[in-house]
Amino acid sequence: MDFGLTETQELIRTTAREFLADRSDSSVARAVANGDTDALESLWKDIVELGWPALIISEEHGGAGLSFGDFAVLLEELGASLAPTPIVESAITSRIIERFGSNDLKSDLLPKAATGDALITPAIVERDASWDATSPTVAATKTDTGLVITGEKRFVAFAEQATHALTLVRTDKGDPALVVVPISESGGIEQIPLEHVAGTPVSSVSFNELEVPEANIVATGDDAIRTTEELIATGSVARAAQLAGLGRAVMDATVEYASNREQFGQVVGSFQAIQHHLAEMAIASKQVNHLVHSAAWSFSQDGYSVERAAKAKIAASEKISALCWNAHQCHGAIGFTWEHDLHLYTRRALAWKTDYGDSSFHKSKLADAMGL
Amino acid sequence: MRFDFTTEETDFRNQISTFLDEMLPKNWGGPAGLSDDDGWALDQRLRKELVKRGWLVMGWPKEYGGADSSPMMNTILADEMAYRRAPGLDGFGTRMLGPTLMAFGNEEQRAQHLGAIARGEVQWCQGYSEPNSGSDLASIQTSAELYGDEFVINGAKIWTSMGHRADMMFMLVRTNPDEPRHAGISLLLVDMKTPGIDVQPIVNMAGVHHFNQVIFDNVCVPKENLVGDLNDGWRVGMTILNHERSGIEFAAGARAAIEELIAYINNPDSPVHSAKSDPAVRIKLAELSTEVEAARLLCYDVTWRHGQGLEPSFEASMSKVAGTDIYQKVLEYGLEILGMYGGLEPASPQVELQGRFLKLRMLSTATTIFSGTNEIQKNIIAQRGLGLPRPPRPPGLANK
Ligand SMILES: Cc1cc2nc3c(=O)[nH]c(=O)nc-3n(C[C@H](O)[C@H](O)[C@H](O)COP(=O)(O)OP(=O)(O)OC[C@H]3O[C@@H](n4cnc5c(N)ncnc54)[C@H](O)[C@@H]3O)c2cc1C
C-alpha cells in the first residue's frame, strides 16, 4: 500500500488549487445557480484550455492518457471549490466511448471532447427516477440508416451546454441500447430546464422521432446494460471524489470557524461537544477519501472493481451529507443564512449523493457483487 | 399510567382538524411554496379564527381572556396545528411573553398587553441574541441607560424572527455596565415603531426572509416598559424560555412527513411507486416511525408534568433534542425516497410533492440550533438532569 500522491498527482493538485482559487470562488457558483450561463461557459472554456477534459482520454485520441486515479485527485479539488462545470459528464462519457465505441465513433468524438468542441452528457434516468440500466422506455425504432428515437429522459445534467447525450434507449426488439444522440440541433428535441438543488443546469430532454445514424450506437443488448452500469459506476466514483473534496473543504472551514467563534469567554472549538462533531467529520472525511482513491485506482484499461466503486459512493453519499449537516450545527445561526457559503456546499452534497445512484442503489449493487 | 386521550381531548383534536379542513387552502401541504407575504396573510387569517373559537390563549387564566384549559389541551392544539403545517399560533405573544407578564409584569403592563395578545392583535418578537451572544446569552452588550424617565437603547440584536412583522419586541438589555454577566441584565418591552430602530432583513438558507438584524441607535423607551426589577432580567427572561419548549411541533411535523411519504409511495401514479414494495424502505419507515412515537411521548410527558404542577426542566430539553433530531431524519429520508426528485426546488417543472421535502429539510436545519442548540440542551440534560458536574469555565464567568 502507498497512500502518497505521485509526482503527476501532486502537480495536478497544485495546479488545480491555484487555478480554482483564482477563478472559481463561491461568487461563480452563486452566479451559475442564478442562471448566469456566461459565467458557466467562460469557466468551462478556461478549464478546457487547461486540458482537464482531455486528461483521461488516450493520447491516440488527443488526450493526455492519465489514469482515473489521477483524475480523482483533480475531482477532489473541483468538489472542494464548488466549481460549476460539466467535467464529470464529459470525462465519464469519453471513457465509455473510448472503451466500448466503434473506431469511427472514437476518432470522431474523442478529439472533439478533448478540445471542448464536443460535450457529451449521460442521459439515463427517466420518469421513475431510477438508475437501473435494464429498463429504459425511450423508444428507438430501427430504420435502414439507423435509429429513430422518441421519449423523455429526465435529470440530464448540462443538457443545455451539451452537444451530445449518451442515451439509454429501448430498441423495437425490446433490448436496451446505448447511443450517442446529437442534442444541440433544435429539430426533434425539446428541453425543459429544471430548478435543481445542485445550482447547475439540469434538464428533462424529450426526443420526438429524432434520427440517429447507426454508427452512433455504442452497445446493444446485454452489452448495453453492462456498459451503462459501468458508465453509472464511473460517474458515481467521480461524484464520490468530488464529495470527498467537498467534505474536506467543509471540515476545514468548520474547524476554522470553531477556532475563532467565542462564547462563554472561550472559542466554541474548546467545547468537547464541538470537538467530537469535528472529530467525526475528520474520520468520515479521511475514510471517504481512502475509499474513493481505492475505487479510482481500480479503474484501468480493462475495467474497474464493482465492489470498490459501490463502497466509495455509499460512504461518500452518506458520510459527506451527514458531515455537512454537522457543519451547520457547529456554525449555529450564521450557517443558516443565505449569505454564508455553507449551504452552497450542502446543496451540492445533496445533489451529488443521489447522482449516479444513491447509497441504497449502490448497496444493492454491492450485495450482488458480494454474492448475496 | 394511561396511554390514550380523554373523550374531551379527542373531541377537541377532531374539532381542530375540522377547523383546519375549512380554513386551509385546497391541497395544502404546508407553507413551503408560499411567498413570505402570502404566508403571513394566512397566519393572520388563522390567528383571527383561533381567537374567535377561544383557542389562541385557551391555556391562559380566564381573567386574561383564556379558558384555564389544561396543558394537555394546549399541547393537543400545538400538535394538531403543526401536524397540518398550519401557521397562526403566535408563540412569542401567547406562549412566551404572556405567561411572563402574568408572573412578573405589573398591573398596567398586564392590562396593556395581555388583552391585545389574546385578541391576536399584536405581533411580538424576541430580542435576545446578538452577533456575539448566541448560546452565551448572559454576555449581551446592547445597553439601556436610564436618563430621567427613559431608557436609551444602543446596540444590535440579531436572528430576530418576525422582526419585520412585529409591532413590539421583548428584549434583554444591559442596564448595569459594571456587571458584565447575569446580574446586569433587564427585560424591556419596546415598540418597534420607536425612532432609531432599523430592521434589516436576513435571508435564510432556504431562501426565506424570516429573521432579521435589528439595530438600536439611541432608541428611547419609557421606563414603565421595564418588566420585573431593574437588573433582574435574567430571571424574568429565562422564564420566557422555559415556556417556549414542549417540542411537540417537531414530532408532529415528523409524523406528518412520514404519513405523507407512505401515501405518496402507495399512490400508483407516483413515479417512485416501486419504493412501496422495497423491503428496505418498509424497514426504514418503521424505524423512523418508532423514533417519532418515542419523541412524541417525551413531549406529552413534559405536558403531563406541567399539568401535575411539576416544572419541567431537563425533560423539556430531552423532548427538544429527540424531536428535532427525528424531524430532520424523517425529512432527509423523504429526500432519499424521492431520489432524483428530491433535488428539485419548489418552483421547478416536474416537481414532486411540491418540492416540500427539500424546502422543509433546509428549514429544519435551524431546529437543532434555535431555542438553545441541541449541544446546550444536552449539557442541561447531563448537568441538571443527571447531576453531572459542570466543566470549569474561564475565570470571570460566574456559573449561572
Ligand atoms: C431560525 C432561527 C430563528 C431564531 N430566532 C431568534 C429570535 O427570534 N430571537 C432571538 O433572540 N434569537 C433567535 N435565534 C438565535 C438562536 O437563539 C441562536 O442561534 C442560538 O442561541 C445559538 O447561538 P449562535 O447561533 O450564536 O451559535 P453559537 O452560540 O455561536 O454556537 C456555535 C456552536 O457552538 C456550540 N456551543 C456553544 N456553546 C456551547 C457549550 N457551552 N457547550 C457545547 N457547545 C456549545 C453550539 O451548540 C453551536 O454548535 C434564532 C436562530 C435561528 C437559527
Domain boundary among A175, A196, A220: A220
Are both B257 and B378 inside the same structural domain? yes
Give the pTM: 0.97
Evaluate: CB of B208 within 6 angstroms of ligand 1: no
Are both A301 and A359 inside the same structural domain? yes
* Chain B CB within 8 Å of residue A127 CB: yes
How many domains does chain A fold into? 3
Q: CATH number, domain at B289? A: 1.20.140.10
The helix-helix angle for B71-83 and B7-23 (nearest 10°) equals 30
Give the pLDDT band (50/70/90) at residue B399: very low
Cβ distance A192 to B134 less than 8 Å, yes or no, reads no
Atom of ligand 1 nearest to the CA of A261: 30
Q: Is residue A86 one of the residues assigned to a domain?
A: yes
Evaluate: CB of B134 within 6 angstroms of ligand 1: yes
pLDDT one-digit tens code per residue, B309-348: 887 789 999 999 999 999 999 999 999 999 999 999 999 9
Evaluate: CB of B379 within 6 angstroms of ligand 1: yes
Are both A301 and A251 inside the same structural domain? yes
Are both B254 and B231 inside the same structural domain? no
Which of B241, B369, B383 has most ligand 1 atoms within 8 Å of its beta carbon, as the pocket-test mutant? B369
Evaluate: CB of A340 within 6 angstroms of ligand 1: no
Predicted confidence at residue B57, as pLDDT, reads 96
For chain B, the straight-line distance linking the first and the last C-alpha, in angstroms and rounded, comes to 36
Are both A277 and A207 inside the same structural domain? no
Are both B377 and B290 inside the same structural domain? yes
Q: Is residue A343 one of the residues assigned to a domain?
A: yes
pLDDT one-digit tens code per residue, A157-181: 999 999 999 999 999 999 999 999 9
Predicted confidence at residue A84, as pLDDT, reads 97
Calpha distance A177→A181 (Å, rounded): 12
Are both B76 and B150 inside the same structural domain? no
Q: How far is A126 from chain B (nearest CA, A)?
A: 9
Calpha distance A125→A136 (Å, rounded): 8
Q: Is residue A46 one of the residues assigned to a domain?
A: yes
Q: CATH number, domain at A97? A: 1.10.540.10
Q: Is residue A2 one of the residues assigned to a domain?
A: no
Which of B370, B341, B371 is closest to B358 using CA atoms? Answer: B341
Residue numbers in B near A325 (CB within 8 A): 328, 365
Predicted confidence at residue B31, as pLDDT, reads 78
Are both A145 and A278 inside the same structural domain? no
CA of B197 to the centre of ligand 1 (A): 23
Q: CATH number, domain at B64? A: 1.10.540.10
Evaluate: CB of B370 within 6 angstroms of ligand 1: yes
Calpha distance B311→B316 (Å, rounded): 10
Predicted confidence at residue A201, as pLDDT, reads 98
CA of B390 to the centre of ligand 1 (A): 19
Are both B328 and B359 inside the same structural domain? yes
- How many Cβ atoms sit within 10 Å of the Cβ of residue A182? 18
Q: CATH number, domain at A341? A: 1.20.140.10
CA of B330 to the centre of ligand 1 (A): 23
Q: CATH number, domain at B155? A: 2.40.110.10
Are both A58 and A167 inside the same structural domain? no
Predicted confidence at residue B398, as pLDDT, reads 54
Which of A172, A162, A76 is closest to A123 using CA atoms? Answer: A162
CA of B276 to the centre of ligand 1 (A): 39
CA distances from B370 to A120, B247, B323, B357 (A): 45, 12, 13, 20
Q: CATH number, domain at A196? A: 2.40.110.10
Domain boundary among B193, B217, B237: B237
Task: Say which DSSP state B178 is in.
Answer: T
* Chain B CB within 8 Å of residue A326 CB: no
Nearest CA in chain A to B374: A329
Predicted confidence at residue B400, as pLDDT, reads 43
Are both A45 and A111 inside the same structural domain? yes
Looking at ligand 1, which residue's alpha carbon is closest to its atom 24? B134
Computed on alpha carbons and rounded to an integer, the radius of gyration of chain B in Å comes to 22
Q: B218 is written with which cell numbers?
A: 439611541
* Closest CB from B133, B205, B396 relative to A343: B205
Bridge partners (DSSP) listed for residue B130: B133
Which of 281-300 (A) contact B at CB < 8 A?
Answer: none
* Chain B CB within 8 Å of residue A27 CB: no
- Evaluate the CA torsion angle B22, B27, B30, B35 in order and state its sign: negative
Are both B131 and B258 inside the same structural domain? no
Cβ distance A194 to B350 less than 8 Å, yes or no, reads yes
Are both B21 and B71 inside the same structural domain? yes
pLDDT one-digit tens code per residue, A97-125: 999 999 999 999 999 999 999 999 999 99
Q: Is residue B218 one of the residues assigned to a domain?
A: yes
CA of B369 to the centre of ligand 1 (A): 5
Are both A245 and A353 inside the same structural domain? yes
Are both A194 and A297 inside the same structural domain? no
Q: Is residue A330 one of the residues assigned to a domain?
A: yes
Bridge partners (DSSP) listed for residue A263: A266
Amino acid sitting at position B389? P
Nearest CA in chain A to B343: A197
Residue numbers in A near B345 (CB within 8 A): 195-197
Q: Is residue B396 one of the residues assigned to a domain?
A: no
How many domains does chain B fold into? 3
* Closest CB from B129, B205, B345 relative to A336: B205
pLDDT one-digit tens code per residue, B30-82: 877 788 889 999 999 999 999 999 999 999 999 999 999 999 999 999 999 99
Are both A136 and A90 inside the same structural domain? no
Average pLDDT for B11-20: 98
Cβ distance B394 to A274 less than 8 Å, yes or no, reads no
* Closest CB from A265, A333, A360 relative to B134: A333
Q: Is residue B328 one of the residues assigned to a domain?
A: yes
Q: How far is A151 from chain B (nearest CA, A)?
A: 15
* Closest CB from A265, A272, A346 relative to B397: A265
Average pLDDT for B266-292: 96
Are both A85 and A174 inside the same structural domain? no
Evaluate: CB of B202 within 6 angstroms of ligand 1: no
CA of B137 to the centre of ligand 1 (A): 9
CA of A76 to the centre of ligand 1 (A): 32
Predicted confidence at residue A355, as pLDDT, reads 98
Are both A17 and A103 inside the same structural domain? yes
Residue numbers in A near B374 (CB within 8 A): 329
Choosing among B375, B378, B383, which should be mutated to test the A contact, i.e. which has the most A CBs within 10 A? Answer: B375
Are both B252 and B371 inside the same structural domain? yes
Predicted confidence at residue B311, as pLDDT, reads 79
Are both A198 and A269 inside the same structural domain? no
Domain boundary among A100, A115, A130: A115
Evaluate: CB of A330 within 6 angstroms of ligand 1: yes
Instruction: Tell me the residue range of the domain where A31 lies.
Output: 7-115
Over 80: is that where the pLDDT of B241 sits? no
Atom of ligand 1 nearest to the CA of A329: 49
Cβ distance B340 to A328 less than 8 Å, yes or no, reads no
Give the pLDDT band (50/70/90) at residue B90: confident
B260 catalytic? Reply is: no
Atom of ligand 1 nearest to the CA of B204: 1
- How many Cβ atoms sit within 10 Å of the Cβ of residue A64? 16
Domain boundary among A115, A141, A170: A115
Q: Which of B244, B291, B315, B352 is catalytic?
A: B244
Q: Alpha carbon B300 to chain centroid distance?
A: 17
Domain boundary among B196, B219, B237: B237
Bridge partners (DSSP) listed for residue A267: A262
Are both B77 and B205 inside the same structural domain? no
Give the pLDDT band (50/70/90) at residue B246: confident
Are both B56 and B165 inside the same structural domain? no
Calpha distance B5→B80 (Å, rounded): 14
Are both B372 and B254 inside the same structural domain? yes
Domain boundary among B37, B71, B89: B89
Query: Residue A75: enclosing H or E segment and its boundaries?
Result: helix A68-81
Instruction: Tell me the residue range of the domain where B228 lies.
Output: 125-237
Calpha distance B311→B309 (Å, rounded): 6
Over 80: is that where the pLDDT of B396 sits? no
Predicted confidence at residue A237, as pLDDT, reads 98
pLDDT per residue of chain A (372 residues) written in tens, 0 to 9 = 899 999 999 999 999 999 999 999 999 999 999 999 999 999 999 999 999 999 999 999 999 999 999 999 999 999 999 999 999 999 999 999 999 999 999 999 999 999 999 999 999 999 999 999 999 999 999 999 899 999 999 999 999 999 999 999 999 999 999 999 999 887 899 999 999 999 999 999 999 999 999 999 999 999 999 999 999 999 999 999 999 999 999 999 999 999 999 999 999 999 999 999 999 999 999 999 999 999 999 999 899 999 999 999 999 999 999 999 999 999 999 999 999 999 999 999 999 999 999 999 999 999 999 999
Q: Is residue B102 one of the residues assigned to a domain?
A: no
Average pLDDT for B117-125: 97
**ipTM reported for the complex surpasses 0.85:** yes
Q: How far is B133 from chain A (nearest CA, A)?
A: 7
Q: Is residue A1 one of the residues assigned to a domain?
A: no
Residue numbers in B near A192 (CB within 8 A): 349-350
Are both B203 and B251 inside the same structural domain? no
Average pLDDT for B109-125: 97
Scored b (16 or more CB within 10 A) or e, B145-154 reads: eeeeebbbbb
